[in-house]
Amino acid sequence: MGKRNKQSKSATLYDSDDDDSHSQSSSSTAMSELTIAQGPYTEETDGAVDNLDACLDALYEKRGTTREKALSTIVDSFRMKLQHQFVANKCITLLHQCLNSFKKGSTKEIHLASVAIGLLAVTAGCEDGKAQEILEESFTPLSLALKSGTDSLKISSILDCLAILTFIGGVNEEDTERSMQIMWQFIKPKLGPNNVVASKPTPAILTAAISAWAFLLSTMNTFKLNSKDWQESISHLSTLLEKDDRALRMAAGEALALIFEVGQLVKFHNDESNSGDEINKPTEGYIQIQGLRGKITNQVRDLSTEAGGKGSAKKDLNSQRNLFRDVLEFLEDGYPPETSFKVGGDTLSVSSWSKVTQLNFCRRFLAGGFAKHMQDNEVLHAVFGFTPKGKNQSGSNQEPLTEDQKKLMKIQNSFVSKARTQFLNKQRVLSQGKKGGRFSFGDEES
């Protein structure tokens, strides 16, 4: 482990066109501060908030353009305001109408329907099992839709939708593995009649699939994963670092950093294949993964200093350099990325690849509504251990969290897998903390 620079690099986040004007990053400070300001409401957005019932009625219309306009308004409304009352009354009705769009809609309509379903889950959370129901109702239609067509916008949107539904609505690791297997078929396709992928995916689809897969990987119990799983993933993602598409290279780089963070490769040194006198002997899988790590470190070093080519956007090139500098520092010295954001008058800090991956995905999916949801959405509060000023963890009338509870809420790499069940009974979890217990993030209750 080398000595970390006094001015550590900030995590490089994928830029979004929706909030670039509100964000500034710096790699020269220990904790970069990106101010994410909530954009002002437009007349269209204000009207959209008050006309969701009319939009829902419009989804029954035969004219596709009418349904597209209604879905666009629904998406804007759900991004800019938490529509709890509408979800409480019309959740499943809206879900079924969105799913109908997959049967008869255009690419644009399917894209909007996918985003709307994802936002529906983000708004509903796990209260009363709504998100779980949304996932189970949607899984088969989404899987079938992924088998039809090759349009990048359509497939990418469905993959995003499946990821956010599983992230919030999955109740066990089997749910997560089921979705990750579908996503991996796009990352490393095995063409054939029994596979989801019907043709070679485009770079845009590959990028979306890697982002969605890594998003779910960040929630997994790593002790249940084996060296063979890691080796296949690492080897294939390494080949993607050599592709021409910059967004694809960045997605693969972030996923690799996440794998090396959550994989805890030291545990492969003494896996179940070792016994007796060979207990301290490195396994073949461990040696192979360490070899891959060396190869990837060299690839990352090159990408962190890549010179701009013809037609290379300076902003995109700088984003790539910053990301791979962070990955290189992590691979060589073991230091995770550190970054902080100003959200309104509050500061959100993250300091692991797991949280950076989750933050990148949520920020991209929520687009211009990220700040609003970060301030008011209990799901995001729980995921990031974030408590806005003047609010407690649940946003209700419960007592504020103690300092010890706040520290527990910020434990990295394992919180989200447990958080999905904590959402179902927050009062019980908080009461355990008040009694001096600790949160459990494994399979057994504390």
**162 in Cβ contact with 99 (< 8 Å):** no
Give the model confidence (pLDDT) of 416-428 as tens digits. Answer: 344 444 444 433 3
Structure tokens at 386: 């974030």
Q: Which two tokens stand for residue 366?
A: 């929520």
Write the pLDDT tens digit of every residue in 44-68: 444 444 589 999 999 999 999 999 9
pLDDT of residue 316: 83
What's the maximum distance between 2 C-alpha atoms anywhere in the chain? 73
> Looking at residue 406, what is its pLDDT?
45
Rounded to 10 degrees, the C-alpha dihedral 46/50/53/55 comes to -20
Backbone angles phi, psi at 388, to 5 degrees: -60, 155
| Two structure tokens written together for 103 | 């049967």
Token reading at 165: 């539904």
Q: Find tokens 């899988």 and name the residue.
A: 285
**In this predicted structure, what is the pLDDT of residue 356?**
94
Cross-strand pairs, 193: none
Question: What is the block-wise mean pLDDT of the chain (446 residues), using blocks of 10 residues?
Answer: 45 42 33 34 42 95 96 96 92 96 94 98 84 95 91 97 96 90 92 64 96 94 66 92 95 95 62 50 72 92 82 77 95 90 87 94 95 91 85 46 46 38 39 32 32
pLDDT tens per residue across span 263-314: 765 555 445 444 555 555 667 767 777 888 899 999 999 999 987 665 567 7
Q: Write the CA distances from 176 to 24, 180, 422, integer angstroms.
A: 34, 6, 17
CA distance 139 to 173: 15
pLDDT score, position 278? 52
For residues 144 and 132, what is the distance between their CA atoms, to the nearest angstrom? Answer: 19
Residue range 93-125, pLDDT digits in tens? 999 999 999 998 999 999 999 999 999 999 998
Backbone φ and ψ of 54, nearest 5°: -65, -35
SS3 letters across 302-313: HHHCCCCCCCCC
Threshold 0.95, pTM exceeds: no
Quick one: pLDDT at residue 47?
46
Residue with the two structure tokens 């967004």:
247
Q: Using an 8 Å Cβ cutoff, are 168 and 420 in contact?
A: yes
52 strand-pairing partners: none
d(CA 281, CA 276): 10
State the Cα–Cα distance between residues 219 and 412, nearest whole angstrom. Answer: 10
